[in-house]
A and B are shown apart, each in its own frame.
Chain A
Amino acid sequence: MALQGVLRPGFVQIRILDMEESLVHYRDRLGLDFVGKSEDGRVYLKAYDEFDRHSIILRETDEAGMDVMGFKVSDDSLLDDYARRLSDLGAEVSAVEAGEQPGVGRRVRFLSPTGHQFDLYADMELSDNGPMTENPDLWREEPHGMGALRFDHCLLYGVDIDGTAKLFTEALDFSISEYAAAPDDTKIAVFLTCSNKAHDIALVRHTEDAKFHHCSFLLDNWNDVGHAADILTRYDMSVDIGPTRHGITRGQTIYFFDPSGNRNEVFAGGYHYYPDNPTRTWTADQAGKAIFYYERALNDRFMGVVT
Chain B
Amino acid sequence: MPVFDDRGEGVLRAMERAGRAEIPVGCRNGGCGACKVLVLNGKYRLGKISRLHITKFEEQEGYALACRLYPETDIEVRPVGSLLHRAPG
State the main secondary structure of chain B at its contact with A. loop
Whether A304 is near chain B, meaning CB under 8 Å from some CB there, is yes
Interface pair B48/A257, CB less than 8 Å apart: no
The number of residue pairs between A and B whose CB atoms lie closer than 8 Å in the complex comes to 74
List of A residues within 8 angstroms of B31 by Cβ: 17, 64-65, 257, 260-262, 307
Contact B50 A301 (CB under 8 A): no
**Contacting pair B49 A305 (CB below 8 A):** no
Contact of B52 among A63, A259, A287 (CB under 8 A): A63
In angstroms, Cα B48 to Cα A228, docked, is: 26
Q: Give the CA-CA distance A287 to B89 in the complex, in Å.
A: 9
Kindly identify which residue among B28, B49, B52, B82 contacts A304, using a CB–CB cutoff of 8 Å: B82
Which B residues touch A65, using CB under 8 A?
Answer: 31, 50, 52
- In the complex, are the beta carbons of B29 and A257 less than 8 A apart? yes
Total count of chain A residues near the partner, CB < 8 A: 23
Are A300 and B86 within 8 A (Cβ)?
yes
Q: How far is the CA of A45 from the CA of B11 in the complex (A)?
A: 33
- Check if A307 sits within 8 Å of B89, measured CB to CB: no
Name the one of A17, A298, A307 contacting B32, with C-beta atoms under 8 angstroms: A307
CB contact under 8 A between A62 and B86, given known A301-B26, A304-B34: no
Given the complex, which residues of A lie within 8 Å of B46, measured CB to CB?
none
> Whole-angstrom distance from the CB of B12 to the nearest CB of chain A?
10
CB distance A259 to B29 under 8 Å? Answer: yes
Cβ of B83 within 8 Å of any chain A Cβ, yes or no, is: yes
In angstroms, Cα B25 to Cα A304, docked, is 11
Taking a contact as CB atoms closer than 8 A, the residue among A62, A261, A304 that contacts B29 in the complex is A261
The interface residues of chain B lying within 8 Å CB-to-CB of A261 are 26-32, 50
Produce 1/0 per residue, A98-118, CB < 8 A to B: 000000000000000000000
Whether, in the assembled complex, B71 has its beta carbon less than 8 Å from a beta carbon of chain A, the answer is: no
A260 near B25: Cβ-Cβ < 8 Å: no
A-B contact pairs, 12 of them (CB 8 A): A17-B49, A62-B50, A62-B51, A64-B31, A65-B31, A238-B27, A238-B28, A258-B29, A261-B27, A301-B24, A305-B32, A307-B31
Given contacts A64-B31, A300-B86, A304-B83, 7 further A-B contacts (CB under 8 A): A64-B30, A257-B31, A260-B31, A260-B48, A261-B32, A304-B86, A305-B26
